[in-house]
Amino acid sequence: MGAQCSNSVQTNGQSGGQQGGPGGGTATCAQPVVQPKYTWVQLGPDGVLSARAITEDDVCPPIQLDATCITMDVRASKAAPQFPVLTCQKAIPPSVTMAYIGSAALKLPNATGSIAVVGDTGCNDVEQLCDTTGWPFPPIMQAVARQLPGLVIHVGDYVYRAKGCTAGTQACKTIAFRDQWNVWENDFFIPAKPSLEIAPWLFIRGNHEQCTESFVGWFRFFDSGAQIPNSQADCLNNPAFNFTVPYTVSLGKMQMAVLDSSAASDTKIVAASVSAYKHQFEQLTESINAQSWNDVWLITHRPTWACIPFAGNPVTTGELCSSSGATLQAALSALPLTNINRFLSGHIHFFNITSYSDNGPAQLIVGNGGDKYNYARLPGTSYITSGPRSSKVLSDSNFSDYGFALIDQGPQGTWNMEALDAQGQAIRSYALTGNQFTESAPDPMPVVDQHRSPN
């Protein structure tokens, strides 16, 4: 049966995602026999909105866009036993003010709302209890939902658990153990459901979603491209999958450049990868210049300038801290970044913000969303021991605690950023102007009671 709807829909013409749909009104499409398990809206290249749904039904549900009802398209068919669910999608035209999938109201972007940032959220079930006592991602998602943000950005690494795997660390990261629907559902969709329902999302691909790890789930659920790899070999050998296309997108005055750094080595300079990323940075620069943007946030999973602690110790001297981002640093070595003021990343499991004296971009890291966190550096510690910015740290603030970040537009081109704990209580507050920041309170001693290496 085709999708049906009445023409009795009313809208109030407002945005912001109030209950009942971003533009008001009610769902009037014929309800699917099986309600989808999860529905959301995601932001993609050039601001294109994509409605997504995961269902256990054999057919995609209808979607209501204002007063029009249309059946969603199949993005990924069922593939039992690995993925016994159907993924559906439908582009949302920019003129639409109200959208429903079944009885679920979809939240469209709110350009005046806060932007919530979270990253590295899965549960490492070898080292953590995957409940609210040992894994903070579920309460973090509830705290994010209470903030009613206009957008949620996930900076990558969605799945970690592989309990029962005895095949070794690398093998346990593969399709056979981690890239399964039950892992994706438990590590991400169940805890994220409250926040999926209150705001659109921008999804960034992490190294846990690269072609050697959980790439199948990434392409089934979140990737903005139309194609899905047929196999791991297809993913690895096709640059369109291994290095997905970078893009720019804006929301209000938030100018964002998105780069897939999932395949970029932290420590090795691989010529083919450097060439690929250099070309992608050039593409982003061309797009930024064409739009005359001058205050850009480059959002990518792996930080370009960051500190990785060694040997499970808190970082107390420069010798215990190693520069990461080797591939990305090499790709950027001869490129100007005059319009990019900030790099926003995850990957290392703490919160960090650093600005530099060379007038280049600040590096922000929000990788404290769930997986066991890394040690932070003690105040006054050397930040980077190698690389082009090793002696150019101007100001630095970091801590080890679980949580997320909120970004709001400030006056006269500035930004306000809060770092919050897992319950939504503010820990730090920052004012960002260009590529510099100021903190509202001195940097206290970090929490250093547990550690694991970034992976």
Write the pLDDT tens digit of every residue in 214-231.
Answer: 999 999 999 999 899 999
Range of the domain at 271: 115-439
| Number of domains observed in the structure of the chain | 1
Q: When comparing pLDDT for 430 and 22, which is higher? A: 430
Give the pLDDT confidence score for residue 306 in this predicted structure.
75
What distances in angstroms separate CA 443 from CA 322, 350, 365, 375, 398, one per listed residue?
Answer: 22, 14, 16, 15, 8
Query: Which H or E run contains 141?
Result: helix 137-147
Q: Is residue 51 part of a domain?
A: no
| Residue 17 pLDDT level (bands cut at 50, 70, 90) | very low
Give the pLDDT confidence score for residue 33 in this predicted structure.
84
Alpha-helical regions (H) of 291-356: 326-332
Q: Is 447 helix (H, G, I), strand (E, B) or coil?
A: coil
| Residue 323 pLDDT level (bands cut at 50, 70, 90) | low
User: What b-and-e string marks burial along 354-376, b requiring 16 or more CB atoms within 10 Å of the CB?
Assistant: bbbeeebbbbbbbbbbbbbbbbb
| Spatial CA neighbour of 352 closest among 315, 402, 400, 299 | 400
Q: Is residue 332 part of a domain?
A: yes
pLDDT for residue 106 is more than 90: yes
| Residue 441 pLDDT level (bands cut at 50, 70, 90) | low
| pLDDT tens per residue, range 237-268 | 999 999 999 999 999 999 999 999 999 998 88
Q: Is residue 397 part of a domain?
A: yes
Q: Is 192 helix (H, G, I), strand (E, B) or coil?
A: helix
Give the pLDDT confidence score for residue 67 in this predicted structure.
92
Q: Is residue 214 part of a domain?
A: yes
Q: Is residue 96 part of a domain?
A: no
Q: Is 104 helix (H, G, I), strand (E, B) or coil?
A: strand
- C-alpha–C-alpha distance, residues 50 and 37, integer Å: 17
CATH number, domain of 249, equals 3.60.21.10
Give the pLDDT confidence score for residue 177 in this predicted structure.
73
Q: Is residue 202 part of a domain?
A: yes
Sign of the Cα torsion 210, 48, 298, 437 reads negative
Which residues, listed in sequence order, are joined to residue 297 by a DSSP beta bridge?
256, 342
pTM of the full structure:
0.89
Q: Specify the range with the lowest mean pLDDT, choosing from 71-80, 115-124, 158-167, 284-293.
A: 158-167
Q: Is residue 277 part of a domain?
A: yes
Q: Is residue 285 part of a domain?
A: yes
Q: State what percent of residues in the chain have pLDDT above 90.
A: 61
pLDDT for residue 385 is more than 70: no
